[in-house]
Structure 1
């Protein structure tokens, strides 16, 4: 969309100071003393906003049910048991359509590749040969003699000949139960494997689920870990599922809206696993937490730029030069262009970097010797300095909100103390002082939004669209700072009623400003309103 697009006040979502006072008055008249206005706001959270995506939260049991349904589906089609169907699906990364095509073409090859059965050998002795040998033994005179006692089983792993319990896969390689248990436990708990091959050398037969559970016996911790690994593999193979990245959380999120890369150019798929309201993350990328309103590709670019040492190089380029003789880095600390390197004592001109002795009294002639090169050099330095200053403008504000968000833990502690103080100094109950905690929650949420708005603004092309974005950004930032100041005010019984009303009204206003920021940005993505000053993944022509 062209940059001469004009917006009405309604499209901008503006509120001036009078609008804010009217909102506060209306909100105050509509609310009761127990903070019902905030409860109404919270109830509205159940309605999907334009910047939100549809998703479902799944427990590990729910994901296991999905796996079971796929296993039963394949088992019914191929006429195999659940163990075989599970191994086939895991081999094909749970792609049922691809598995059906491959299996129908060559079932034997797929079964061997999946580790269900060992490769067939043309010259291997079969049952008929064993029967003939038995019949020959019976017909010979020596068969009447008593057969020697069978040799004791010796485990090929531990070489213990006293073991009486053994286990073997379809390949027939037998090992004692204790060795199987130790082997499977190590593979599961230390290596995190869910497709575990036979212990025999060069054997590709894979242990089915029933075999693993039988060998592990009563080791519930390892069994639980094995089941978790199966779920993780299933989730990792599905574009519609994503495991919650928070430590020790076993929940999964299903989001079809963000399954394709093309969708990530118009939405920011922030989801919550459901196990904890704080477990918010982006379904479309591995960036930690909620990075709305900026797209995944832009957020990745910004974080990479912040990590990249190129900004340090830009600063050095903007403020220093290298000595032409010894290549030492020199910083100009005065107005004179006659420079002397402290290391090698080489004298040169700061403008053209040429020897100072050649300048004589008419040192300005260095520009005329290679005027274009001199101008280009100075322009390049100016551009580098301007680029650095622009980056620092956005980075400092981004980092400031990030630091403020990290300090939210301390703010929560201070707020809880204030809430306890309110109960002591006033007649408010614990429920009635919850407005303070709700205000802190809103401040933390809005600071996260503001942090990422600066990352987005850095890459936005100049124009009316960016002006709209920065106006909404300014209004939200001002509202957040006002609410933060209210939270820092001392608790006084005489002004408690007024403070409570102000905090409640400002919390509602801040939440509204945050919604305007997110909704307008989301609408801009869908309308193609935003233009970028650098190539962004998914927006290439």
Structure 2
């Protein structure tokens, strides 16, 4: 069947694409299940493949206690001291271990404001009344509190201090009131004193401590779904990844925008803003204006005469864009004629007009593939109906998993193809990489990229065409032919997507040495659906593994 298609495999050998390979190892994300793939191997491989897990409101405390337990065991700390340490180091257990090896235990604790030597004996040994160092009132020992750092003040001053800090949003690290003291106040004392005066603020304090696991943790972020689903995503290793929440929202973990690989976060942000603010304006400009031959500013015509004058003073012919003098009649311009066609290859292309058309070129193709993706997404129900009709007719063919797998592959490859156009717009333009590539290098790499893009585009369209066929009305022989087409094309587009990513990562971005433009890696099975944390931990417990945050 391969002879029927136009494709090639750049920078690869024939062994890279084994015709006996299975089409897709995992299509769990299309079957409405829990997001787990079928696996014939060791179940531990199933656990290790997760790059992220979903933290719900019910499992947030469980997630926090997982990291707290590690630090408590490592340094023999209480839960509150472990929390103080982790909040300071943004819930990065590996970072805590690095600081411990570099600075030692005492210095690490001092930096984080952790005081583990209880100096309450200072207050207990005092007799009679105590003078508060804040309000200077004399109070009984029972009406004063001492922190682990040894500083003590009356309960009223402590309470007021705590409430002010909580209202100011400083709940996670409330420091001692003593001058130049870096110690973090005991959270149990804070909770006890504040709850006596204002239980709502005490609840806010507890909530802030709990949510610090998300707000201060670089490996955990709120799902950016709208309306907000209330879930958070915790990634295990690489922060540059794309994930799907259990609510169904897919997004880039790094920038929280929609999943946009193979565009870098910066490229996608620039493209989104440009599309939102300029696409309609630029289309109107291209349609209704022409650039001045002198200053290149866009000029529109507000009358019937074809002699127009730019604000810079240059007169030019609206029909051909050529510079002219100002003398004219209703039908002609003195000394100027443009009714005859001239093949003028030496005429300088107007820079502004070129940029307008360049953006429209890439935007139109991006929009076309976006529309195709939306239409193909709606065809899943139609495909299921065709499969149902085919299964009910008298036929020897009963397995139509190839059609569902082919549709899944089409979604994934179409999405990759869609985002190659914003990438190409910035990669081969002057906005981001000006001066980093010579004109010769840029043209050579542009040709390499566009050749691969063309191959991917052609085979994606062929896959789409085969899946649109009404095979429920066809003979078994014809269905077998469509099946082989879909299987072949699915393997081809998967391979071409992988090659496209290799080209972008290694041939285009890596030589620039710019970490800003790293992209999320290609996943043959698409954006991974993260399991709920409780399910993930259950699987890890069964395998005797300890989940890493």
Cα distance in structure 2, aligned partners of 1:228 and 1:132: 37
Q: Which whole-Å deviations, capped at 9, do the CAs of 1:5-62 have from their partners, x for residues lacking one?
A: xxx96535699xxxxxx99xx77xx9xxxxx866699999999xxxxx9873346646
1:486 pairs with 2:466 = yes
Inter-CA distance 423–443: structure 2 relative to 1 (3 Å threshold): same
Inter-CA distance 479–280: structure 2 relative to 1 (3 Å threshold): same
1:307 pairs with 2:302 = no
Q: Where does the alignment leave 5 or more consecutive residues of structure 1 unmatched? A: 1-7, 16-21, 31-35, 48-52, 134-150, 152-165, 259-268, 366-377
Residues 112-511 of structure 1 aligned to structure 2 (within 5 Å): 130-131=127-128, 170=147, 195=172, 229-236=211-218, 245=224, 247-256=229-238, 269-272=240-243, 281-289=251-259, 291-309=260-278, 312=281, 316=285, 319-320=289-290, 330-331=300-301, 337-339=306-308, 350=317, 356=327, 363-364=334-335, 379=348, 382-426=350-394, 432-461=399-428, 462-490=442-470, 492=472, 495=474, 497-498=476-477, 500-511=479-490
The answer for the alignment partner of 2:70 in structure 1 is 69
Inter-CA distance 314–398: structure 2 relative to 1 (3 Å threshold): closer
Inter-CA distance 340–10: structure 2 relative to 1 (3 Å threshold): closer
Cα distance in structure 2, aligned partners of 1:510 and 1:63: 46
Secondary structure, in 3 states, of the residue corresponding to 1:528? helix
Secondary structure, in 3 states, of the residue corresponding to 2:261? coil
Query: 1:65, CA displacement in angstroms?
Result: 1.8
CA RMSD of aligned residues (A): 6.1
1:195, 1:206 within 8 Å by CA — same for their partners in 2?
no
2:222, 2:233 within 8 Å by CA — same for their partners in 1?
yes
The answer for the alignment partner of 1:81 in structure 2 is 78
2:413, 2:494 within 8 Å by CA — same for their partners in 1?
no
1:348, 1:356 within 8 Å by CA — same for their partners in 2?
no
Q: Which whole-Å deviations, capped at 9, do the CAs of 1:56-111 have from their partners, x for residues lacking one?
A: 334664664234313443x44xxx53312322431343453558859845977863
2:462, 2:489 within 8 Å by CA — same for their partners in 1?
no
Cα distance in structure 2, aligned partners of 1:167 and 1:436: 74
Normalization by structure 1: what TM-score?
A: 0.57
Secondary structure, in 3 states, of the residue corresponding to 1:286? coil
Q: Which whole-Å deviations, capped at 9, do the CAs of 1:388-429 have from their partners, x for residues lacking one?
A: 222211111111222232344422222233333333335689
Cα distance in structure 1, aligned partners of 2:459 and 2:278: 35
Query: 1:511, CA displacement in angstroms?
Result: 2.8
Aligned positions, number:
428
Inter-CA distance 85–416: structure 2 relative to 1 (3 Å threshold): same
Secondary structure, in 3 states, of the residue corresponding to 1:522? helix
Cα distance in structure 2, aligned partners of 1:405 and 1:56: 26
User: Which of 1 and 2 has higher RCO (CA within 8 Å, sep 6+)?
Assistant: 2
For the pair shown, the structure with the greater C-alpha radius of gyration is 1
Cα distance in structure 1, aligned partners of 2:195 and 2:386: 53
Secondary structure, in 3 states, of the residue corresponding to 1:235? coil
Q: Which whole-Å deviations, capped at 9, do the CAs of 1:269-327 have from their partners, x for residues lacking one?
A: 44446x659665444443312x33344443344334323438836863882479xxxx9
Inter-CA distance 470–62: structure 2 relative to 1 (3 Å threshold): same
Q: 1:56 aligns with which of 48, 51, 56?
A: 51
Q: Which whole-Å deviations, capped at 9, do the CAs of 1:347-403 have from their partners, x for residues lacking one?
A: 965555875489xx98449xxxxxxxxxxxx946x3322222222111111112222
1:253, 1:271 within 8 Å by CA — same for their partners in 2?
no
Query: 1:459, CA displacement in angstroms?
Result: 3.6
Inter-CA distance 211–451: structure 2 relative to 1 (3 Å threshold): farther
